[in-house]
């Protein structure tokens, strides 16, 4: 297979000016990442800074209600409140080994921005975060967190002023600052080697979950379910289960409002088509003329018109199935898990959970279902309270 490809998807569609830092990173990934020294340092950071391993929690109350055995892989318990730190702490370590002084990162909702900023602070790196001007406004809490960790937050005024434009701005900045700066890409997408690098760093989710299932349940799960925006928590939750052919892998995209004509964030399960954006060939929400369309989801972390190339490849090969649920299904799941299990999931993770709750009756009775609870929901309280007030 061609370098950097997963089936027909992936590649390195970037200006030549970005090839030298990508080749440098690729070389570092092959040489430094597997080394014992790096792996020992990473393990130490994951244990003592991130708080791994995260728990695998059985949900007795929802399980009784749904007729399946529901397990949660608790990435909400990782430092920063989401799985994002698994990636940023690894990339920050790698950046230090490469002699880089600074991290730059894009962020949509701000979770990856926060995770990058705290990893940079921990390892003594400078940090610049590119964030769409619209997102800067609607995610002011995360902007304040990033600034507290010492990061510079640059509002991006171009295009739709959201995540995709923040990625454009970060790629542009990287062209100019590649000698001193590492681009800490936030999801398992973008040009090679990012999809591979981010997967390797997030695979800790399924490495732990697989061992925990064998230990706590005495068997492998029947389903592993994760939400998919760019797809980093999902690729991390799937990776170690891929060779276990009997484990069904389900990626849940955001269908938005579900009303005809409204934007969504589901290029795999709704009207996506293959194209090239942000350095990769993947499934995209685009016009027939190849212009990228805006996306929408109530979960800001899923709000992206593309998806990581390995997911596009898993869909094509049939190894994973991709579905979508609407904003309302996710919001109801948010409330259900809080009320029945005392755990408040992020709205992103609530999509995965919502799919299970909605479809539990059609799953095999008693099936073991692991949901990747990619983050905690404190950040979403305002949105959820508005929803409950509307419903009342």
- Residues at the site binding other proteins, with contacts judged by CB under 8 A: 3-4, 11-20, 158-159, 164-165, 168, 171-172, 175-176, 178, 273, 275-279, 284, 286-292
Cis bond upstream, residue 34 (ω within 30):
no
Q: How do strand 69-74 and strand 56-58 relate by DSSP bridges?
A: antiparallel
Instruction: Name the minimum Å distance from CB 142 to other proteins.
Output: 24
How is the beta sheet containing 152-156 ordered, strand by strand? 152-156, 126-132, 102-107, 181-183
Residue 19 or 381: the one with the smaller Cβ distance to other proteins is 19
Residue 116 or 178: the one with the smaller Cβ distance to other proteins is 178
| DSSP code at position 364 | P
Cβ(56)–Cβ(208) under 8 Å? yes
Residue 122 or 164: the one with the smaller Cβ distance to other proteins is 164
Helix residue ranges, H only, the chain: 19-31, 36-45, 60-66, 84-97, 111-123, 133-138, 140-148, 163-177, 194-202, 204-216, 232-238, 309-317, 327-341, 347-359, 381-391
Cβ(166)–Cβ(301) under 8 Å? no
Residue 81 or 190: the one with the smaller Cβ distance to other proteins is 190
Instruction: Name the minimum Å distance from CB 97 to other proteins.
Output: 21
d(CA 108, CA 67): 36
Residue 15 or 365: the one with the smaller Cβ distance to other proteins is 15
Instruction: Name the minimum Å distance from CB 16 to other proteins.
Output: 5
| DSSP code at position 263 | -
Q: Catalytic residues, which ones?
A: 59, 83
Residue 133 or 203: the one with the smaller Cβ distance to other proteins is 133
d(CA 110, CA 115): 8
Instruction: Name the minimum Å distance from CB 18 to other proteins.
Output: 8
Q: How do strand 273-277 and strand 279-284 relate by DSSP bridges?
A: antiparallel
Instruction: Name the minimum Å distance from CB 195 to other proteins.
Output: 15
Instruction: Name the minimum Å distance from CB 4 to other proteins.
Output: 8
Give the 3-state secondary structure of residue 96: helix
For residue 212, what are the CA distances in angstroms to 199, 260, 369?
20, 42, 13
Q: 314-320: long-range contacts at Cβ-Cβ below 8 A with a sequence spacing of 24 or more?
A: 314/6, 314/238, 314/249, 314/251, 315/251, 315/268, 315/283, 316/7, 316/8, 316/9, 317/7, 319/242, 319/249, 320/238, 320/249, 320/250, 320/251
Q: Cα 275 to chain center, whole Å?
A: 21
Instruction: Name the minimum Å distance from CB 109 to other proteins.
Output: 20
For residue 177, what are the CA distances in angstroms to 21, 117, 222?
10, 18, 46
């Amino acid at each position: 297979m061609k370098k950097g490809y997963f089936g027909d998807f992936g590649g390195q569609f970037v200006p030549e000016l970005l090839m030298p830092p990508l080749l440098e990173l690729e070389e570092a990934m092959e040489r430094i990442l597997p080394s014992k020294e790096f792996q020992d340092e990473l393990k130490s950071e994951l244990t003592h800074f991130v708080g791994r391993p995260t728990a695998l929690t059985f949900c007795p109350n929802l399980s009784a209600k749904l007729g399946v055995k529901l397990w949660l892989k608790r990435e909400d318990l990782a430092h920063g409140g989401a799985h994002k730190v698994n990636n940023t702490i690894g990339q920050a370590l790698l950046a230090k080994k490469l002699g880089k002084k600074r991290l730059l990162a894009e962020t949509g909702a701000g979770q990856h921005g926060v995770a990058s900023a705290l990893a940079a602070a921990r390892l003594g790196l400078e940090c610049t975060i590119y964030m769409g001007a619209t997102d800067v406004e609607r995610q002011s809490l995360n902007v304040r967190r990033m600034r507290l960790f010492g990061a510079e937050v640059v509002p991006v005024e171009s295009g739709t002023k959201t995540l995709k434009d923040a990625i454009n701005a970060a790629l542009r900045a990287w062209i100019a600052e590649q000698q001193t700066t590492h681009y800490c890409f936030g999801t398992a997408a973008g040009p090679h080697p990012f999809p591979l690098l981010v997967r390797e760093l997030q695979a800790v989710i399924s490495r732990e979950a697989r061992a925990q299932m064998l230990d706590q349940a005495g068997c492998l799960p029947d389903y592993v379910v994760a939400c998919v925006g760019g797809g980093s928590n999902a690729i991390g939750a799937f990776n170690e289960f891929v060779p276990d052919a009997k484990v069904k892998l389900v990626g849940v995209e955001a269908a938005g409002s579900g009303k005809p004509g409204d934007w969504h964030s589901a290029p795999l399960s709704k009207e996506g088509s293959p194209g090239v954006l942000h350095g990769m060939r993947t499934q995209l929400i685009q016009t027939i003329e190849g212009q990228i369309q805006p996306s929408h989801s109530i979960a800001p972390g899923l709000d992206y018109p593309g998806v990581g190339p390995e997911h596009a490849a898993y869909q094509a090969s049939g190894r994973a199935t991709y579905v979508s649920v609407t904003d309302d299904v996710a919001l109801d799941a948010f409330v259900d898990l809080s009320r029945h299990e005392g755990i408040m999931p992020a709205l992103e993770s609530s999509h995965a959970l919502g799919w299970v709750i909605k479809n539990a009756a059609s799953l095999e009775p008693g099936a073991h279902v692991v949901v990747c609870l990619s983050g905690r929901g404190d950040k979403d309280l305002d949105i959820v309270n508005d929803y409950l007030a509307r419903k009342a």
